[in-house]
């Protein structure tokens, strides 16, 4: 329990915990991060594919990227980091605000997960209000909506707003928690990167779990420079 020794007495009885998670938490499940050295796909920068312009310029390419990622995600299993967060529900109210679309928190058994950037299983029409979940792969890429326009992945790209209801709930959860654990995110993407500020305004304790420095590391009460699968099981043992 050495990693949390300095803060153990302050956190062990806390009952409202929020996790803000990003691609790094699924890295140990074999899912590449965005900005790491594996953030290139067929020589395309993943950051440039996650835009509405990329989709309109080349919908087939963007669909192929998501189809390949969906295959990888469906084959992936939650790692010890996801499982530790799920186990923490035995001791406290836990809400996860995730930027990931992979569903691995839910697969690990977490019950309160807000997906800020959508989900790999969702699809929607690029023009009308049609929304659905993908049951089987489409034979034609890009797939077409009944209205005749192209369907797109149900995710949030750069320049798009987050779903308002999800974002409202995320802000409230962040503003009401007593402990926020920020794991596996570079915190470079807004508005998710302002969630720690809401928590801080409530005098919550902030812990960052990330092998690398982030722009908000200096704002944290505790920074653990290790991976989430190694660190988060040890966090659970503080509450156990």
Least distance (Å) between residue 156 CB and Zn ion: 18
Cα–Cα distance for residue pair 63/69, rounded to 1 Å: 10
Least distance (Å) between residue 130 CB and Zn ion: 4
Residues 66/153, Cβ–Cβ less than 8 Å: yes
Single out the residue of 17, 198, 228, 232 in contact with ligand BJW (rule: CB under 6 A).
Answer: 228
- 29 lines the binding site for ligand BJW (CB under 6 A): no
Give residues in contact with Zn ion (CB under 5 A).
125, 128, 130, 145, 147, 149
- 55 lines the binding site for ligand BJW (CB under 6 A): no
Handedness of CA 139, 145, 149, 154 (dihedral sign): negative
Residue nearest to ligand BJW (CB): 24
- 196 lines the binding site for ligand BJW (CB under 6 A): no
Phi and psi at residue 142, to the nearest 5°: -75, 145
Binding map of ligand BJW across residues 87-126, x = CB under 6 A, - = no contact: ------------x-x---------------x---------
Residues that bind ligand BJW (CB under 6 A): 22-25, 27-28, 33-36, 50, 99, 101, 117, 155-161, 183-186, 188-191, 209-212, 214, 227-228
């Amino acid at each position: 329990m050495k990693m949390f020794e300095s803060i153990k007495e302050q956190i062990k009885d806390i009952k409202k915990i929020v996790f803000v998670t990003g691609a790094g938490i699924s890295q140990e499940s074999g899912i590449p991060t965005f900005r790491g050295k594996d953030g290139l796909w067929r020589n395309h920068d993943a950051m440039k594919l996650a835009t509405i312009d990329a989709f309109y310029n080349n919908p087939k390419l963007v669909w192929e990227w998501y189809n390949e990622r969906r295959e990888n995600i469906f084959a992936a299993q939650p790692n010890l980091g996801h499982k530790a967060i799920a186990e923490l529900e035995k001791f406290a109210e836990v809400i996860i605000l995730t930027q990931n679309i992979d569903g691995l928190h839910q697969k690990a058994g977490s019950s309160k997960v807000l997906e800020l950037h959508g989900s790999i299983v969702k699809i929607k029409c690029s023009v009308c209000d049609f929304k659905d979940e993908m049951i089987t792969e489409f034979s034609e890429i890009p797939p077409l909506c009944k209205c005749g326009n192209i369907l797109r992945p149900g995710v949030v790209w750069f320049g798009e707003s987050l779903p308002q209801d999800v974002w409202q709930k995320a802000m409230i959860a962040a503003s009401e928690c007593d402990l926020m654990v920020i794991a596996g995110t570079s915190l470079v993407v807004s508005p998710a990167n302002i969630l720690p500020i809401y928590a801080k305004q409530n005098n919550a304790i902030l812990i960052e779990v990330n092998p690398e420095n982030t722009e908000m590391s200096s704002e944290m009460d505790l920074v653990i420079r290790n991976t989430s699968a190694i660190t988060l099981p040890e966090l659970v043992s503080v509450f156990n």
